[in-house]
Structure formats: structure tokens, C-alpha cells
């Protein structure tokens, strides 16, 4: 006959929620930073203002975030696939990396890493 062990655990839900939010925000920022990095390698480049205008924003609660480029011509450069660009630079410089399965896989790992780091993983 085996003897069972009984444990009584009291969870600090506020601490768990706080860690999950912080880890989610940290992981989401890391994932979006990776996307931005890949995108910056493809963004049309003349003197650098478009590339340098890249911003990452994550909501305070870590529930959402954006990668954006902020120049008067960012949208035109992104959408006009007929423009000529330097080698390796192109239109769809943000959309294509976002749709790349390799980039997506790395973003998922980074997101999970942020959560794991805050939750003791």
C-alpha cells in the first residue's frame, strides 16, 4: 500500500498575473524586434531615413504591438512593387518578413522565451 503525499499550495495570483504580463510584453517586444531586424535588411535604402524611422511599440499590458516605419514615403516604398531598389532591398519590406515561416517560427520562440523567463522557465 502506497502512502500519498498531500500538498496544499496557495498561489499568489497577482504575482502570477504580473509575471505573465511582464513576460508577455518582454517576449512580444523580442519577437517584434526580430521582425524589425529582418525587415531593416530589406527596406529600400538611399541615405537611411526610412530604415532609421523603424519603431516598435508594445502595449503596456503586452497584448499587442506594432512594427512601423514613419516617413512620408514609407507606404509608397512598401506598396509600389515596380520601383527599382538596390540589391537585396525591395518593396513589401515589412509584409514579406512577417509572412516568412522561418521568421514566424523565430518570433514564436522569442515570444515563448519572454514568458518562460518570467514564469521560471
Q: What is the pLDDT along the chain (121 residues), one digit of tens a residue?
A: 567 777 777 777 777 676 667 778 888 999 999 999 999 999 998 889 999 999 999 998 888 899 999 999 999 999 999 999 998 899 999 999 999 999 999 999 998 887 665 555 5
The pLDDT value recorded for residue 23 is: 74
Q: pTM above 0.75?
A: yes
The pLDDT value recorded for residue 117 is: 56
The pLDDT value recorded for residue 2 is: 62
Report CA-CA distances (Å) from 84 to 47, 67, 100: 15, 24, 22
Amino acid at each position: 500500500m502506497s502512502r500519498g503525499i498531500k500538498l496544499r499550495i496557495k498561489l499568489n495570483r497577482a504575482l502570477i498575473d504580473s509575471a505573465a504580463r511582464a513576460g508577455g510584453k518582454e517576449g512580444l517586444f523580442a519577437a517584434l524586434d526580430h521582425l524589425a531586424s529582418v525587415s531593416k535588411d530589406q527596406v529600400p535604402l538611399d541615405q537611411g531615413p526610412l530604415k532609421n524611422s523603424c519603431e516598435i511599440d508594445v502595449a503596456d499590458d503586452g497584448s499587442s504591438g506594432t512594427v512601423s516605419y514613419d516617413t512620408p514615403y514609407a507606404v509608397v516604398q512598401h506598396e509600389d512593387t515596380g520601383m527599382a531598389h538596390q540589391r537585396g532591398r525591395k518593396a513589401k519590406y515589412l509584409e514579406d518578413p512577417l509572412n516568412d515561416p522561418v521568421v514566424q517560427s523565430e518570433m514564436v520562440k522569442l515570444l515563448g522565451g519572454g514568458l518562460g523567463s518570467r514564469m521560471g522557465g
